[in-house]
Amino acid sequence: MSPAFRAMDVEPRAKGVLLEPFVHQVGGHSCVLRFNETTLCKPLVPREHQFYETLPAEMRKFTPQYKGVVSVRFEEDEDRNLCLIAYPLKGDHGTVEIVDNSDCEPKSKLLRWTTNKKHHVLETEKTPKDWVRQHRKEEKMKSHKLEEEFEWLKKSEVLYYTVEKKGNVSSQLKHYNPWSMKCHQQQLQRMKENAKHRNQYKFILLENLTSRYEVPCVLDLKMGTRQHGDDASEEKAANQIRKCQQSTSAVIGVRVCGMQVYQAGSGQLMFMNKYHGRKLSVQGFKEALYQFFHNGRYLRRELLGPVLKKLTELKAVLERQESYRFYSSSLLVIYDGKERPEVVLDSDAEDLEDLSEESADESAGAYAYKPLGASSVDVRMIDFAHTTCRLYGEDTVVHEGQDAGYIFGLQSLIDIVTEISEESGE
Q: What is the pLDDT of residue 365?
A: 35
Q: Which of 212-216, 308-312, 331-335 has the lowest mean pLDDT?
A: 212-216
For residue 103, the model assigns a pLDDT of: 35
Percent of the chain with pLDDT over 70: 66
Is the residue at 192 inside a domain?
A: yes
Which letter does DSSP use for residue 201 in this model? Answer: E
CA distance 229 to 392: 14
- In this model, does residue 174 exceed pLDDT 80? no
Nearest one of 406, 376, 370, 375 to 388, comparing CA atoms:
406
User: Domain for residue 45, yes or no?
Assistant: yes
Helices (H), ranges, 156-177: 169-176
φ, ψ of residue 47 to 5 degrees: the values are: -65, -40
Q: Would you say residue 104 has pLDDT above 80? A: no
Longest dimension (CA), the chain: 77
In a domain, 346, yes or no: no
263 pLDDT band, cuts 50/70/90, is confident
What's the CA gap between 11 and 378, in Å, rounded? 34
- Maximum average pLDDT range among 32-41, 90-99, 341-350, 355-364: 32-41
Residue 262, strand partner residues: 269
Check whether 181 has a pLDDT greater than 80: no
Has residue 98 been placed in a domain?
Answer: no
pLDDT, tens digit (0-9, with 9 covering 90-100), for 308-321: 999 999 999 999 99
Read off the pLDDT of residues 357-413 as tens digits, 9 standing for 90 and up: 333 343 333 333 444 444 489 999 999 999 999 988 788 899 999 999 999 999 999
Residue 196: give the domain boundaries. 17-93+158-163+177-338+373-424
- Residue 290 three-state SS: helix
> What pLDDT band is residue 171 in, cutting at 50, 70 and 90?
low
At residue 20, the pLDDT reads 87
Count of CA atoms in the C-beta half-sphere (13 A) of 114: 15
Mean pLDDT for the chain overall: 76
CATH number at residue 257: 3.30.470.160
- Predicted pLDDT at 163: 72
- Specify the 3-state DSSP secondary structure of 85: strand
Q: Are 272 and 218 in contact (CB under 8 A)?
A: no
Is position 133 within any domain? no
d(CA 227, CA 326): 8
Q: What share of the chain has pLDDT > 90, as a percent?
A: 48
Beta strands 386-388; 112-113: pairing state: unpaired
Specify the 3-state DSSP secondary structure of 363: helix
Which neighbouring-strand residues pair with 237?
none
Distance CA 425, CA 301 (A): 9
Q: Give the model's pLDDT for residue 207.
A: 98
Q: How confident is the model at residue 116 (pLDDT cuts 50, 70, 90)?
A: very low
What's the structural domain count of the chain?
Answer: 1
| pLDDT the model gives residue 194 | 72
How does residue 134 score in pLDDT terms, banded at 50, 70 and 90?
low
User: Residue 343 pairs with which residues in a beta bridge?
Assistant: 369
One-letter-per-residue 3-state SS of 20-51: EECCCCCCCCCCCEEEECCEEEEECCHHHHHH
pLDDT digits (tens, 9 = 90+) for 39-60: 999 999 999 999 999 999 999 9
pLDDT confidence of residue 243? 94
**In angstroms, rounded to a whole number, what is the distance separating the alpha carbons of residues 128 and 384?**
46
Residue 350 lies inside a defined structural domain of this protein: no
pLDDT for residue 408: 98
CA angle, residues 25, 29, 33, in degrees to nearest 5: 45
Q: How far apart are CA 335 and CA 217, in angstroms?
A: 5
Per-residue pLDDT averaged across 284-300, rounded? 95
Residue 214 placed within a domain: yes
pLDDT tens digits, residue range 75-87?
A: 877 777 778 899 9
Whether 418 is in a domain gets the answer yes
Q: What is the pLDDT of residue 23?
A: 84
